[in-house]
Amino acid sequence: MSAEDSPAFWPACRLRQHLRDRTLSPVDVAEACLEQITRHNPVLNAVVTLNDRLLDEARALAQEPVQGMLYGLPVGLKDTTDTRGLRTTFGSVALKNNTPARDALVVRHLKAQGALVLGKTNTSTFAAGAVTWNAVFGHTRNPWNTALTPGGSTGGGAAALAAGMVALADGTDLGGSLRIPAAFCGVVGIRPTAGQVPMYPTPDVWDTLSVAGGMGRTAEDVALFLQTTALSAPECAVNPPNGRIDYLTAVHQGPRADLRLAWCPDPSGIGIESDVLNPCLETVRQLNREGWSVEEPVLDLSEAREAFAVLRGHHLLAVHYDRHHDTRALGPHLSGNLREAERITSLETAAAVRVRSRLWERMRTLFRRIDCLITPTTAVAPFPVEAPYPDRIDGRTMEKYYDWLAPTSVFSVTGYPAVSVPCGLDARQMPTGLQLIGCPGEEAGLLALAQHIQQLRPIGRPPCD
């Protein structure tokens, strides 16, 4: 079968229908994904631990009745997600042989719906950082151009999806760790409302800054992911705000005709490169031509940049409290982040909490008259894979190295859910992501609009197919 016809690149929802109709077997799909891994993973380095029982599990599943919404779909799990009996390193040399005794709650939900765990996808050490590199496995590369980064920290999952290695991928998002790789690799990634997807086990059960979510090749696939994982659980202190939601039906119905949209190109105030801005702007114009009203409000969220740095520092210290002086386990980048966090004062933390409250109210005021805020997902296009971050944005030197995360991180501070959807290719033929932000609990509407944008602005496949 040619790469063009391979089910490895089919959307998960299309695969799901063929698996349910028995026109494909779980073995067919697993073998197609393994073929892509054999061809491209030596260069891309997206899947770092393969489930060597995958084909046996697929054969066993093929003998069973079709049960579960994810029956036979190969899923890539971030190497920070506990998987029973399958190595989970967190990108740390101290845990390079760690094999958990239990599955994370999200893995239990995926398996309960018939998903097959294909393996673990690469990440930065303990998911700290917006590129995908660690001392255990090295760099992950972008399938659209292997000289460039896929972003991070869920870069392995995004690259694996774009290269046809998995049908769905899980991940986490603190300041953009699902949205940035989705934008750089031309897939769809969602940062849901805190608690929408269970994040357990976790050292901080009350955390609302870092959330669990997922990625797919289409918005409909992400809806399928949420349909099977966005479940309340007694283990979790933070649970879904709206109970069970039919995400798939919402996507199939499409976006509402009376949807009130707002376009704001740079709410974080750091500038946007023209290569990124132009495809986003053209997409917004197309939506306007299709009949949707598009407001252009003045929205200044720049104070969230410093607040995010402080709140992120508090989060990192809480999560790594037991090992915050273990440089070997943490690696140099995260160790440096923790040293900075230790210098944050109580007054600075209190000020960040007050900023977060003000931004919540500012967003509430805006969303009384709109349903969806649209921004570019990133300020920059994918940059060289060896670079830890870009040093300039739109010709200006960044004040702080993490400022390039601001287009996504400022919305992490607000607590509003966000989806990154591909909206075109830039001058180098690299994907560009459009970020859709909605009210907490309104992920279904965001995904319906994202699916429409994908149909409006298809980008094709990366050249590594």
Grouping H, G, I as helix, E, B as strand and the rest as coil, residue 47 is strand
Structure tokens at 173: 């998002």
Structure tokens at 296: 């252009």
CB distance 8 to 164 below 8 Å:
yes
Identify whether 111 is a catalytic site residue.
Answer: no
Closest CA to 266 of 397, 376, 400: 376
Identify whether 400 is a catalytic site residue.
Answer: no
Question: Active site residue: 111, 120, 124, 177, which one?
Answer: 177
Residue 460 sits at φ, ψ, to 5 deg, of: 75, -160
DSSP letters for 332-401:
HHHHHHHHHHHT--HHHHHHHHHHHHHHHHHHHHHTTT-SEEEEES-SS---BTT-SS-SEETTEE-SSG
Q: How far is it, in rounded angstroms, from Cα 462 to Cα 210?
A: 30
DSSP letter assigned to residue 145: B
Distances in whole angstroms, Cα of residue 383 to Cα of each of 141, 221, 387, 398:
11, 27, 7, 15
User: Exposed (0-12), middle (13-18) or buried (19+): which is 99, by Cβ within 10 Å?
Assistant: middle
Question: Active site residue: 78, 120, 210, 420, which one?
Answer: 78
Identify any residues that bridge with 41 across adjacent strands, giving them in sequence order: none
Grouping H, G, I as helix, E, B as strand and the rest as coil, residue 316 is helix
Q: How far is it, in rounded angstroms, from Cα 81 to Cα 417?
A: 21
Closest CA to 195 of 145, 142, 232: 232
Closest CA to 408 of 433, 445, 389, 444: 433
Is the sign of the CA dihedral 372, 180, 351, 415 positive or negative? Answer: positive
**∠ Cα 265 439 78 (to 5°):** 80
Question: Active site residue: 92, 111, 120, 153, which one?
Answer: 153
Grouping H, G, I as helix, E, B as strand and the rest as coil, residue 265 is coil
Identify whether 409 is a catalytic site residue.
Answer: no
* Residues assigned a catalytic role: 78, 153, 177
